[in-house]
Structure 1
Amino acid sequence: MLQKEHRLTDKRDFQRVFHHGQSFANRYLVIYFLKNRNSDTFRVGFSVSKKVGKAVTRNRVKRLLREAFRSSRDQIKEAYDLVVIARPSAAELEYENVVQNVHHLLRNMDKPDAQKRKPQQQTRRSASDKQGERKKGVH
């Protein structure tokens, strides 16, 4: 089990990572990460929605993810706040596959900024912009 110092639990911390962090994804998992200047260790939180399955399945996925991060904590060199989101396809994974996918995400976190994707800010378009697109034939 992850030690208390490695757990991200506060809703505000989750929101801060989502809004200001960067993300990377693979077929089974999405990771959002943000440097944490207030700590000298990483913290990780998990989000597994009802789309993944019923409670038993969701809890199994969270247990596997917690253990995968616990076993690979040496791979995380810097103090990051991490939020890991399990996609519905993660329900079919065995432990070894979960570990491989976690290692894949952690390796790609360390790549240069050109490889990282920033969460896109949604912009509101006015009704006139939408109508202008329709006239041009763009939908």
Structure 2
Amino acid sequence: MLDTVAIACDHGGFALKEALKAALPEVSWLDLGTDGTGSVDYPDFANKLADAIKAGKAGRGILVCGSGIGISIAANRHPHIRCALVHDVTTARLCRQHNDANVLALGGRTTGEAVAKDCVDAFLNTAFEGGRHQKRIDKL
């Protein structure tokens, strides 16, 4: 598992972000907000997380918004980010094995806590396979 994992969300992802931190206390979290359910803009938090990864403050990241869609789009605007929106453990594992994703996105209103925890666990503990997948990553 990585030393530090950045985590950020908007108001729609706040409850799931807090649940993940509680369910995975062994992870060294860099919590970049938000800190409540008041309305905020998801691009601001995707940008904070992307900046933290670029600065080397974290090796990977977890993003959560209501659906996971908006925050993943915002994160993927950064060239050093490969953010994957997942809905189950299989896609969480495959985004690491085949795509070397460094950020996982989840939907706070679409993904249950137990599934989200399992997704994060798979994401953090799965290695990139490289090989035939590397040439595809290079094209990104």
Same topology, TM > 0.5: no
TM-score by length of 2: 0.32
Larger Rg: 1
TM-score by length of 1: 0.32
